[in-house]
Amino acid sequence: MHEYVLFRVCDDGEGMSTDVRERIFEPFFTTKAPGKGTGLGLPMVKMFAESSGGYLDVDSIAGVGTTMSLYLPKSSLAEAEIIAEEVPLHQASDESLLIIDDDAGVRNALARALYEVGYQSVTTACNSEYAVEFLSRGVKADLIISDIRMPGQMGIPGFLQQLEAMQIDVPVIFATGYAEDSNIQQGLIAGKHPVLLKPFTLEELFAKIRETMLEHKG
């Protein structure tokens, strides 16, 4: 039988309805006002718990409060030292990523998650125009992750044309919550660049990054 270390946080706030409770681990889902939350906090905690061999339990009653219980497997110091010696550093630590998203909360949360799994160089931009400016000034990017729908005049076709004009040959992963987006329907992306449909899990994002980098390197 496994032994666990328990971290528990309780509050006496509003609690959660059944509908909200069923969606709290859904990436990008949030009940906060626009610009106040990313919807990535709890999915990241859940991913951390499960990747560590533990789990996250949530008990919430509307009008009463919420209790979050994080269970992590207990290890002896000797076991921890063995694991530390056997597990290599994340193989992506020498790759540079560029995240483009007009939502500051989303791009910062994604950058933080990527740092935590080993990426040492993550640059963020709020739109394609700024991304092109960064790249023209020498910012390194081995892979670009970009939302499809963002403010600005350039648009996806213009952004891809700019990359080609600057002779920047890096893979681009596009993320969108709209499967019917015209950029996809018109073939500007589909078949040429990988697309992640929101909501996606962090595991799916990390896997797509590795898959795309391996394909690009041939």
pLDDT at 31 over 70: yes
Amino acid sitting at position 149? R
Kind and range of the H or E element at 124? strand 121-125
Q: 7 forms bridges with which residues in the sheet?
A: 70
Angle between helices 104-116 and 41-51 (to 10 degrees): 10
Helices (H), ranges, the chain:
18-21, 41-51, 77-86, 104-116, 128-136, 155-165, 182-185, 202-217
| Residue type for position 31 | T
Average pLDDT along the chain:
80
Q: What percent of the chain has pLDDT over 90?
A: 19
Supply the pLDDT for residue 81: 53
Query: What's 4-73's CATH class?
Result: alpha beta
8 Å CB contact between 28 and 42: no
In CATH terms, is domain 96-217 a member of 3.40.50.2300? Answer: yes
d(CA 199, CA 105): 15
Residue in 198, 197, 193 with CA at minimum distance from that of residue 211: 193
120-153 pLDDT tens trace: 789 999 889 999 999 998 899 999 999 887 777 7
List the one residue out of 170, 177, 113, 124 whose CA is nearest residue 143. 170
Segment among 88-92, 105-109, 186-190 with least mean pLDDT = 88-92
Amino acid at residue number 59: D
CA-wise closest residue to 104 among 135, 143, 142, 147: 147
* Cross-strand partners of 131: none
96-217: same fold as 4-73? Answer: no
Euclidean distance between CA atoms 215 and 166, whole angstroms: 22
**Sequence ranges of the domains in the chain:** 4-73, 96-217
> Each residue of 34-74: pLDDT tens digit?
666 667 778 878 877 887 788 889 998 888 889 999 888 88
Does the pLDDT at position 181 exceed 70? no
pLDDT score at 165: 94
Number of CB atoms found within 10 A of residue 83's CB:
10
Query: DSSP code of 169?
Result: -
The pLDDT value given to residue 191: 64
Q: What is the pLDDT of residue 18?
A: 86
